[in-house]
Amino acid sequence: MTTQKLDLMPFCLRARAFLAQGRTEDAMGLFNDVIAVDPDNMQGYADRGTAWAMQKQFDLALADLDRAFALGYDEASAYSTAGTICLEQAEYDKALGYFSRAAQLDPQYPYTYYNRANVHYAMGNRAAAVADLETCLHFPGAADFRELVLQRLATVRSA
């Protein structure tokens, strides 16, 4: 007998739409349902973790994101979210680990480098912060982000 898993991704997508509409309770209910039906659904944990992070429920967010990672979820954005949570909580070593993994998975995502630069700076490692900020400048992007990076770079260099 073969057991075939249900494709629960449509439910995660619907929950994401609820989040975008500000219907947080509906979204969380759907994420909970996905996880109840499939307790090993890494997408459900990753999405619910992100939703918890949006609500500033950082302990719950990290628990869900770490569960998703343990199940094999390997998306740069989720690792970046986990890193941002750790940065907010001044858990800099953990933040560096998450941001480094995000950069490995998607080396073309400048926000990972920007956020990791903030961790380096908070830890007193200005050279590493400058290096990550300079990396951001090599990516094509919106002028407003480039200006933000240049301002942050000036602040870090003058500190």
pLDDT of residue 100: 96
Q: What is the mean pLDDT of the chain?
A: 95
pLDDT of residue 104: 97
d(CA 58, CA 85): 6
Q: What is the DSSP string of 29-41?
A: HHHHHHHHH-TT-
- pTM to 2 decimal places: 0.90
- Report the Cα–Cα distance between both ends of the chain, in Å, rounded: 65
Q: Using 50, 70 and 90 to split pLDDT, how confident is the model at 3?
A: low
- Let me know: does 131 contact 100? Beta carbons within 8 Å: no
pLDDT of residue 140: 84
What is residue 125's three-state secondary structure? coil
Q: What is the mean pLDDT of residues 13-38?
A: 96
Q: What is the mean pLDDT of residues 26-46?
A: 96
129-152 confidence digits (pLDDT tens): 999 999 999 988 778 899 999 999
Q: Using 50, 70 and 90 to split pLDDT, how confident is the model at 1?
A: low
Alpha helices in 38-73 (DSSP H): 42-54, 58-70
Q: Using 50, 70 and 90 to split pLDDT, how confident is the model at 6?
A: confident
79-115 confidence digits (pLDDT tens): 999 999 999 999 999 999 999 999 999 999 999 999 9
